[in-house]
């Protein structure tokens, strides 16, 4: 951040009195611009023994496969956000099921939240942010061309648990690559 969004004056990075972390502080209007993690919400849309994946038409990782997910908007709930992203990216209607996983991704200041979901019909097609949308059985999952570790890890767990016949909520952390 370079300029105060309140008054346009250049901001300085310093620890405000009584605080413990550096913040962007406006020297003119004294507003402290707190920066906090963003929530990414999505789902694993299921149809019988297959799940729906989207091939990304946008960066990062253009051309790779991912679950429908995206940044939560103001004034919506988690379930609404996951359903909205699924509609936007795959034109797919789902009934949201159980909360399945929360992944901390501290090095990029994100928290990813995934639900299981039931596809309501097969009338899906790529949204503007997707090149393709397809159903995949476990043997067909394009593990080598999945876009994000934060997608790969819950999907591995998902199929392991499906084989065992029992899904359980999981919270994990994706560390920076190489750590
Ligand atoms: Zn200001």
pLDDT in tens, 101-127: 999 999 999 999 999 999 999 999 999
CATH 3.90.79.10 domain extents, the chain: 38-173
CATH 2.20.70.10 domain extents, the chain: 1-35
Q: Is the dihedral of CA 118, 121, 122, 124 positive or negative?
A: negative
**pTM of the predicted protein model:** 0.92
Rounded to the nearest whole angstrom, what is the distance from the C-alpha of residue 11 to the centroid of ligand 1? 7
Confidence of residue 53 (pLDDT cuts 50, 70, 90): very high
* Range 125-135 average pLDDT: 97
Q: What is the CATH number of domain 1-35?
A: 2.20.70.10
Specify the length of the chain in residues. Answer: 179
**Per-residue pLDDT tens digits for 66-94:** 999 999 999 999 999 999 999 999 999 99
Q: What pLDDT is stored for residue 179 in this prediction? A: 55
Rounded to the nearest whole angstrom, what is the distance from the C-alpha of residue 2 to the centroid of ligand 1? 11
Rounded to the nearest whole angstrom, what is the distance from the C-alpha of residue 32 to the centroid of ligand 1? 9
Rounded to the nearest whole angstrom, what is the distance from the C-alpha of residue 29 to the centroid of ligand 1? 4
Domain 38-173 grouped into CATH 3.90.79.10: yes
- Work out whether strand 110-119 and strand 38-47 pair parallel, antiparallel, or are unpaired: parallel
Rounded to the nearest whole angstrom, what is the distance from the C-alpha of residue 28 to the centroid of ligand 1? 5
């Amino acid at each position: 951040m370079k300029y105060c969004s309140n008054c346009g004056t250049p901001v300085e990075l310093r620890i405000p009195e009584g605080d413990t972390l550096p913040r962007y502080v406006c020297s003119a209007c004294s507003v402290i611009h707190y920066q906090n993690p963003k929530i990414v919400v999505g789902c694993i849309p299921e149809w019988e023994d297959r799940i729906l994946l989207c091939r990304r038409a946008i960066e990062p990782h253009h051309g790779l496969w991912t679950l429908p997910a995206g940044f939560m908007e103001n004034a919506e709930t988690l379930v609404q956000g996951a359903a909205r992203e699924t509609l936007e990216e795959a034109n797919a209607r789902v009934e949201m099921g159980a909360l399945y996983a929360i992944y901390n991704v501290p090095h990029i200041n994100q928290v990813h939240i995934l639900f299981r979901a039931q596809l309501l019909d097969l009338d899906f097609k790529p949204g503007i942010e997707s090149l393709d949308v397809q159903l995949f059985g476990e043997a067909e999952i394009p593990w080598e061309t999945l876009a994000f570790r934060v997608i790969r890890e819950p999907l591995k767990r998902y199929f392991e648990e499906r084989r065992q016949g029992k899904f359980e909520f999981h919270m994990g952390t994706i560390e920076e690559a190489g750590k």
